[in-house]
Amino acid sequence: MVIRLISDSMRKKRINILGIETSCDETAAAVVADGRVIKSSVIASQAKLHEKYGGVVPEIASRAHIENIYQVITESMEQASVSKDDIDAIAVANQPGLTIALVVGVTAAKTLGFAWEKPLIAINHLHAHLQSAMLAKEKPKLPAAALIASGGHTCLYDYRSPLEPKLLGCTIDDAAGEAFDKVATILKLPYPGGPSIEKTAEKGNPDSIKFPRSMLGPDSLDFSFSGIKTAVLYYCHGQDMKGEDKVNSMSEQEIADIAASFQAAVIDVLVKKTQRAVARTGAETVLLGGGVAANNQLRAALQKLCNSYKPAKKLMVAPKQYCTDNAVMVASLGYHKFKAGLYTDLTLEAKATG
Ligand code: KG4
Ligand code: ZN
């Protein structure tokens, strides 16, 4: 049955993949044709629900996914003007992420795959973030050094094909986005922290405070951002943490200077590690994706790095609306796995790591 369905759909002009994403705090579904024609993208953000906690609460995220998933998938099909008969396969992010959040998308995808008799495709959420940097029209020269900086992960890859990015290094503690979120909480800036730090930093001096840049040795491609977060905490509360919370009495300028100096330190590390990855892989191109990729200063700093090579390297960045979690990237990568015949079955499980 599956073989007949696949050969039927291969003959059609366009391959339509329904993508489903629930790995963290966005419930998302999208229909993408041939891996790059975005027919719909629906995202139900839970930012408001998690705001007062300064981070994502897994149980609240899972419950909200359950409440939203049906509506989000229905809307994505309606916006794309497709019925189940037009869908060739269902791709779902099943790892890594919050297991009780992922399981909602995985269960929805398995149910639809079974009911509609469509192939099911398992997607690694981080590989999908990489794919979002490939949505541009032009094809990149490969290999590429690929940086994913998000709320849950910070990783570098040797990227030679969408199907098998090779992990070169990742964070050993906090992810870059997590550091932005935690520092925003320290500075009493609104959640999510990334956009509010970026905005506040616009008025600050990035050279005013020398926060530490953790490089983890001369050859490491791993990251560590917990030290800089603690440095900001000590700066605001004193080394012994017994001092007053100075943030309450700080001027707007002082807060802007901390935000700008923190942002500059994080970007410095991300850029230098990417430079190492370029040297390690002989990359022709640099790919950038993940929520932190929405940061204009990071985009500019990586562009500067790429321009510094002779000849210059090409920088490919995910379009802004596809930097943070979305299902377009899931459906787009699903297309490549569909073409390669990489299907999964109904035993698919959600996994925290991957
Ligand atoms: O990729 P994403 O939506 O979720 C995960 O897979 O984790 O990334 C969310 C993260 C949050 O930590 C958020 O603060 C950060 O991306 N972020 C930013 C910016 N926009 C979002 N960080 C820095 N600058 C931004 N403009
Ligand atoms: Zn993500």
pLDDT in tens, 254-308: 999 999 999 999 999 999 999 999 999 999 999 999 999 999 999 999 999 999 9
122-142 b/e (C-beta count within 10 Å ≥ 16 → b)? bbbbbbbbbbbbbbeeeebee
Q: In a 10 Å sphere around its CB, with 0-12 CB exposed, 13-18 middle and 19+ buried, how is residue 283 labelled?
A: buried
Nearest CA residue ID for atom 10, ligand 1: 151
Distance between CA atoms of residues 288 and 146, nearest Å: 6
CA nearest to 235, candidates 221, 225, 245: 245
**The pLDDT of residue 8:** 55
Residue 126 CA, ligand 2 centroid: distance in Å:
7
Q: Do 265 and 212 touch, CB atoms closer than 8 A?
A: yes
pLDDT digits (tens, 9 = 90+) for 20-64: 999 999 999 999 999 999 999 999 999 889 988 888 899 999 999
* Ligand 1 in reach of 151 Cβ (< 6 A): yes
pLDDT digits (tens, 9 = 90+) for 69-101: 999 999 999 999 999 999 999 999 999 999 999
Lowest mean pLDDT among 20-24, 57-61, 244-248, 338-342: 244-248
Distance between CA atoms of residues 343 and 28, nearest Å: 21
Q: Is 203 helix (H, G, I), strand (E, B) or coil?
A: coil
φ, ψ of residue 26 in degrees (nearest 5)? -120, 130
pTM: 0.92
**Segment 201-227 mean pLDDT:** 97
Q: Do 22 and 125 touch, CB atoms closer than 8 A?
A: no
For the CA of 289, the nearest ligand: 1
Over 80: is that where the pLDDT of 127 sits? yes
pLDDT digits (tens, 9 = 90+) for 135-185: 987 889 999 999 999 999 999 999 999 998 999 999 999 999 999 999 999
Q: Report which ligand 1 atom has the smallest distance to the Cα of 176.
A: 12
